[in-house]
Amino acid sequence: MTTEKKITLWVDGVKVTVPDKSTIMQAADSININVPRLCYHPDLSTIGACRVCVVEVEGQRNPVASCCFPVTEGMKVKTSSPLLRRLRRDVVELILDNHPMDCQTCVRNGSCELQKLAFDLGVRERLFQGERKRFAIDKSSPVHRNPEKCILCGRCVRVCDEVQGVHNLNLQHRGFHNVVAPAHELKMIDSVCIHCGQCVNVCPTAAFVEQDATEKVFEALSDPTKHVVVHTAPAIRATIGEGFGYEPGTPVAGKLVTALRMAGFHKVFDTNFGADLTIIEESSEFIHRIQKKENLPLITSCSPGWVNFMERFYPELIPLTSTCKSPMSMLSTLLKTFYAEKMGLDPKDIFVVAVMPCTAKKFEAARAEHLSPSGQPYTDAVLTTRELIWMFKCLGIDFRDLADGSYDSPLGVSSGAADIFGATGGVMEAALRTAYEKITGKELESLDFNEVRGVEGVKEMSLQIDGMTVNIGVANGLQNAKNLLDRVASGEKQYHIIEIMACPGGCVAGGGQPYPPRGMHVLDPNLARMRAKALYSIDHEKSLRKSHENPAIESLYEEFLGAPNSHRCHELLHTHYQPKCPRGVK
C-alpha cells in the first residue's frame, strides 16, 4: 500500500499538513480559516472566476485565487492583510456596481450570498457606480431567470451540466454582454430546461428564482366562494422546520398541519395518500409487466424533473416509464373528483394547493395532460417549501410554538412507505414492500431495504421474489441517471425496475427546498442525509408501513376506483408522455 503524499505549508503562521494536490482554500478550511468566497462550490468544478478568495503567497508577485491554487511544500500563505481586505472589498463592490440596488424588495433579501458578503467584507459605500448591464427578465417558466442580478459565478452552468447532465445553461457572448442563458438565448420554456430548480438552489443571488404562487394562494384564501384545500409532499415535513431555526432533519408534520389550518386552508390533506395510491397502481403495473415480461425495466415517474428529462433526452424510454401520475397529481385529481362528489361540491369551487419541494411540480401542474376534461388544472397552485415558509412568516405564525395537528381524513391517512418517497430509494422501497407481498402472498420479514437507502448517486440490489431474481436500480441526480441508463442501453445492466429522482439526494434536496443553514451548502450529501433521516424515522415509528394496508386506500378502491389499474384508474390516475423538442444532447 502506498501512503498518500502529504504537503506541509504555513497558513497565517500556522503549520498545516494536507494531502498533495489540495488547494490553499482546503488547507485554510482545515484549520477553520474560512477565506471569503463566492463562485466556489465544493461539489462543483472549480473555475476561479470571482477572485473574492484571493490570498497572498510568499514569492508570488500578485495575490492568487485560493480556491484553485495548489499547495506546495513549505509554501507561506497570508489569508488576511490590508491589501487583501481592500482587494476583496473592491471585487465585491465592483460586482455590486453592476447589480440592481433593490435588496429590500428582492426575494433573496436575507438569504443572498452577495448581500452577506458585501456586509462581511465591509462594503459601506459605492465608489465605482457607472453604466450597468441591462437584460430582460425571463418569466416564461417555473424557473425565472433574471440576468440583471447575475454575477456570472457560473454555479448554475456547472450544476446544470455536471450534476444534472442537462447543460441547458451556458455563458453566451463576452465582455459587457456576457450572459448566462440557454442556447440561442431561448426563453427557458422553449429550451431544454427540465425545471428541476437546481440552478435556483445554487445561485448566490436572485438571478434564478421560482415562479411565485403565493399571491394566487392568498387570493384564493380570501375568496369566500372557494373551498381551499392543501396537501403537502412527503419531503416538506422533513425540511420546513429549517425555515424556523430547526436543525435539518427535524420532523415537524404536526406543526405544519396546525400552521396550514391557521393560514386558513379548509382542509389539510397529505400528498402521502397519493403516494400510497401511486404504489398500489405502480406495483400492479410492475407485476403485470414482469409476468408478461414486457416493457421492462419499469421506470418510475414520480419526479417531474426526471419526466421532463426523459421526454427531451431519452424519449425512447417512454414505453418503459410508468404511466402512473405522480402522488401530487393523483391526489389533486381525486380532490376534484372523488372528494368533490363526496362533499357535494362543484370541482370549479375547489382550489387545490400542493406544497412541493420542487419547481418542476409547478410545470407538472400546468401540463395539458394534467388538466380536467373541462380544461381546468387539477392542481391550482404549487408552493415550494421556501414559499410556504415565507407565507407563514408573512402571516405572523409562530411556527415553533405550535401544538401538533393531524391531517384530515380520509385523504390524509398514509403509511410509512409514503413518507420515505421524499428520499432517493424511497419510492423503490415502498414499491418493493407492496410488490413482494402481492406476488408471493407472504409477509416480508423486514420492511427495511437498506441497499436502496443512502445518498449515493447509483444504488443497486437484487431481490428474490417467488423464485425470480428481480434486479433493481436507483439513481438520483440526472447525470447519475444518465450513467445508469447508458449502461442499460449498452446491455451491460439488466434491471427489472428503476427508480429515478432528478435531484441529488431525492426530493429532500429538491429545487424548492430551503436554502441551507449556516455551515452547510446546497448539494451537501450530509444535508440530504439528515433530511432523509427524518423521513425514515417517521416511517419507523408508524405501525402502518405498507401502502397496500392503508385502510383509506382500500375503501377508496371499494367506493370509487374499482380494482387497481381498472378503467377508472387509468382515466384518473394515469398519464402519457411525448417526445419533446428541442431534443437535449445526452
Partner 1 sequence: MKSELMLKEEAKAKVILPEPVVSYIESCRQKSRPESHLISVLHKVQEHFGYLAKEHMDAVSILMQIPTAKVTGVASFYHYFNFTPRGKHRISICLGTACFVKGAGKVLDRLKELLAIDVGQTTVDRQFSIDVARCVGACALAPVMLVDDKVYAEVKPDQVAKILGEYGFDAKKAAGK
User: Given 149, 267, 361, 546, which residue is catalytic?
Assistant: 361
Q: Does 181 bind partner 1 (CB under 8 A)?
A: yes
**Rounded distance, CA 325 to CA 273, Å?**
13
Amino acid 406 reads S
- Residue 166 has phi, psi (to 5 degrees) of -95, -45
311 is catalytic: no
Q: Assess whether the previous peptide bond of 504 is cis (omega < 30° from 0).
A: no
- Rank residues 482 and 574 by Cβ distance to partner 1 and give the closer one: 482
**Rounded distance, CA 168 to CA 183, Å?**
7
207 touches 159 (CB < 8 A): no
- Rank residues 74 and 579 by Cβ distance to partner 1 and give the closer one: 579
Q: Does 161 bind partner 1 (CB under 8 A)?
A: yes
Q: What is the DSSP letter of 148?
A: G
Please work out, in degrees rounded to the nearest 5, the angle formed at the alpha carbon of residue 121 by the alpha carbons of 89 and 74. 85
**Rounded distance, CA 43 to CA 520, Å?**
12
| Other Cβ atoms within 10 Å of 218 Cβ, number | 15
| Other Cβ atoms within 10 Å of 578 Cβ, number | 10
Q: Does 315 bind partner 1 (CB under 8 A)?
A: yes
Q: Assess whether the previous peptide bond of 582 is cis (omega < 30° from 0).
A: yes
Find the shortest distance in angstroms from Cβ 312 to partner 1: 11
Residues 553-582 that bind partner 1 (CB under 8 A): 579, 582
Q: Does 311 bind partner 1 (CB under 8 A)?
A: no
Find the shortest distance in angstroms from Cβ 170 to partner 1: 4
x-or-dash string of contact with partner 1, 245-284, rule CB under 8 A: ----------------------------------------
x-or-dash string of contact with partner 1, 195-214, rule CB under 8 A: --------------------
Q: Does 479 bind partner 1 (CB under 8 A)?
A: no
> What angle, 0 to 180 degrees and rounded to 10, lies between the N-to-C axes of helices 426-440 and 271-292?
50
User: Given 322, 326, 414, 547, which residue is catalytic?
Assistant: 322
361 is catalytic: yes
In the set 174, 293, 518, 576, which binds partner 1 (CB under 8 A)?
A: 174
In the set 83, 127, 137, 489, which binds partner 1 (CB under 8 A)?
A: 489
Q: What is the DSSP letter of 469?
A: E
179 Cβ contact list (under 8 Å, min separation 6): 135, 147, 150, 171, 172, 173, 185
Q: Which residue has the cell 423503490?
A: 428
Rg (CA), the chain: 25
- Rank residues 155 and 231 by Cβ distance to partner 1 and give the closer one: 155
Find the shortest distance in angstroms from Cβ 487 to partner 1: 12
User: Given 302, 324, 503, 569, which residue is catalytic?
Assistant: 302
User: Given 282, 311, 387, 429, which residue is catalytic?
Assistant: 282
Q: Does 499 bind partner 1 (CB under 8 A)?
A: no
322 is catalytic: yes
Stretch in the footprint of partner 1 (CB under 8 A) among 41-49, 166-174, 514-522, 566-574: 166-174
Q: Assess whether the previous peptide bond of 297 is cis (omega < 30° from 0).
A: yes
**Rounded distance, CA 182 to CA 190, Å?**
9
x-or-dash string of contact with partner 1, 65-104, rule CB under 8 A: ----------------------------------------
Stretch in the footprint of partner 1 (CB under 8 A) among 164-172, 241-249, 392-400, 439-447: 164-172
> What angle, 0 to 180 degrees and rounded to 10, lies between the N-to-C axes of helices 82-96 and 113-120?
140
Amino acid 209 reads V
Stretch in the footprint of partner 1 (CB under 8 A) among 35-43, 116-124, 183-191, 233-241: 183-191
Q: Does 461 bind partner 1 (CB under 8 A)?
A: no
In the set 130, 490, 492, 576, which binds partner 1 (CB under 8 A)?
A: 490
**Rounded distance, CA 542 to CA 18, Å?**
46
Q: What is the DSSP letter of 9?
A: E
Q: Does 156 bind partner 1 (CB under 8 A)?
A: no
Q: Does 405 bind partner 1 (CB under 8 A)?
A: no
In the set 46, 98, 140, 170, which binds partner 1 (CB under 8 A)?
A: 170
Find the shortest distance in angstroms from Cβ 155 to partner 1: 15
User: Given 247, 369, 541, 558, which residue is catalytic?
Assistant: 369
195 touches 143 (CB < 8 A): yes
**Rounded distance, CA 573 to CA 332, Å?**
10
- Residue 212 has phi, psi (to 5 degrees) of -85, 130
# residues contacting partner 1 (CB under 8 A)? 26
Q: Does 135 bind partner 1 (CB under 8 A)?
A: no
Q: Does 583 bind partner 1 (CB under 8 A)?
A: yes
The residues with which 299 forms a beta bridge, in sequence order, are 321, 498
Q: Does 517 bind partner 1 (CB under 8 A)?
A: no
- Rank residues 185 and 456 by Cβ distance to partner 1 and give the closer one: 185
Strand segments (E) across 431-490: 458-465, 468-476
Q: Does 319 bind partner 1 (CB under 8 A)?
A: no
Q: 3-state DSSP call for residue 299?
A: strand
Q: What is the DSSP letter of 523?
A: T
Q: Which residue has the cell 435588496?
A: 103
In the set 154, 182, 473, 512, which binds partner 1 (CB under 8 A)?
A: 182
Q: Does 483 bind partner 1 (CB under 8 A)?
A: no
In the set 68, 183, 262, 544, which binds partner 1 (CB under 8 A)?
A: 183
294 is catalytic: no
Which parts of this chain interact with partner 1 (CB under 8 A)?
161, 167-174, 181-185, 191-192, 315-316, 489-490, 579, 582-586
Q: Catalytic residues, which ones?
A: 282, 285, 302, 322, 361, 364, 369, 507
